[in-house]
Structure 1
């Protein structure tokens, strides 16, 4: 029988201590992310009770919380891998599962198994987009990100776009809007936009020490419109965002051509028609 060699311990040496818990500075941003996840789950609960307005509001609250958790983390220097993973899980629930179930319970269930398949496709494509983002988060070669664009429609914007027929129905009470033959193609279109490779404008805004007075006026008008007439305003926002996609594609193409032209050395002739 072979003898197992004994490990000789150095006198006075202490075994390395394993890290316990997470840093205190990461508690606040992770709490904001957890609140966004809870908002998404609460939206599902309201949808199960056919309280469509409350369900949409909870998804909107989750979108607001998702927009500020990263800023809180950077402000407190609380970025962590744990927070990034938690953020993706929260986004999958709040912007993938919740809108899919809301649309299914509101309209798509009238299509039976096909309606459930459409809801599954939307939730799955949202999760695939998040997985693609996480897989490439450490890649240095990210043409869209380096140019100030996103790849495809982000998950929060996708959720807001997917529920646009619901906004329109809440504002007009048009009986034909909940028809699944209208909602199903729209839901699939938004799902395809999320996993697409098209360049979209980033919603991130860099705050400066001084901002123009016009920006304050626009923000005040937008907040007033959301309070006084939320559903028409959300419908207009969804349509406006969708209308920016052709412009973002053209803007990114212009940036790509400028970079390609700048990469050509002066002593090398440019090839006509080269991208």
Structure 2
């Protein structure tokens, strides 16, 4: 819901930095992998019982997630780069809730499993929509220039980052926050399926 607004604010500085990195020959895929490594380091910190220490690598990983696209736009974007980026994103998104479950299974296991299930369903609705949109030749730039069709929703990347920062800053709220965020993920997926039914039910001539 907030991605389009956030993009208007962060894309100009990211593009400036991205052009500088591209001029130095830094590959966008390398930045994607570095961002994933930082995100997984954040998950390890959470799992080890140090969620506050996870905040810096978590935020750095999301900075890298924005920079890889900026570098790709300033050099040469590839389909594989977009594929690698979305795969890394989903691994990161799953690793943080899993880390909270590992850190305190007695308190967080059920809510964490619910949250991960909602991520799975929401991700499937997002990627399925992107496939059909590509098949129909639909395009959007509401969330910036992307390799995939990014359908909007109640929860998007910006909300997920804010959620992760909150639960790392206040780990005691993970269980109730996971139930709420998971329900909103299911709502996002449901609305996306309804939109897909409206747009994609007609036969393509």
Q: Same fold (TM over 0.5)?
A: yes
Question: Could you state the TM-score of these two structures normalised by the residue count of structure 1?
Answer: 0.48
- Aligned counterparts of 1:109 and 1:158: Cα–Cα separation in 2: 26
Aligned to 2:167: 166
Aligned to 2:153: 152
- 1:39 to 1:28, Cα distance in 2 relative to 1, 3 A: same
Post-superposition offset of 1:169: 2.2
Secondary structure, counterpart of 1:36 in structure 2: helix
Post-superposition offset of 1:179: 6.5
Aligned to 2:10: none
Q: Does 1:191 align with 2:191?
A: no
- Unaligned runs of 5+ residues in structure 1 are 1-24, 171-176, 199-275
Aligned to 1:84: 82
- Aligned counterparts of 1:179 and 1:70: Cα–Cα separation in 2: 31
Superposed, which structure 2 residues align to 1:184-263 within 5 Å?
A: 184-192=178-186, 195=189, 197=191
Aligned to 1:29: 28
CA distances 1:36-81 after superposition (whole Å, capped 9, x unpaired): 11112112211121110122322221211111111101101x2111
- Aligned counterparts of 1:92 and 1:105: Cα–Cα separation in 2: 18
Aligned to 1:104: 101
CA RMSD after TM alignment = 3.2
Aligned to 1:11: none
Secondary structure, counterpart of 1:163 in structure 2: helix
- Aligned counterparts of 1:70 and 1:140: Cα–Cα separation in 2: 22
Q: Is this contact kept in 2: 1:29–1:69, CA < 8 A?
A: yes
- Unaligned runs of 5+ residues in structure 2 are 1-23, 144-150, 193-205
Q: Number of aligned pairs?
A: 161
Post-superposition offset of 1:136: 4.6
- 1:129 to 1:66, Cα distance in 2 relative to 1, 3 A: farther
Q: Is this contact kept in 1: 2:48–2:103, CA < 8 A?
A: no
Query: Which of 117, 123, 141 is residue 121 of structure 1 equivalent to?
Result: 117
Post-superposition offset of 1:194: 5.1
Aligned to 1:67: 66
Post-superposition offset of 1:130: 5.1
- Aligned counterparts of 2:163 and 2:83: Cα–Cα separation in 1: 24
Post-superposition offset of 1:159: 2.5
Question: Could you state the TM-score of these two structures normalised by the residue count of structure 2?
Answer: 0.62
- 1:110 to 1:185, Cα distance in 2 relative to 1, 3 A: same
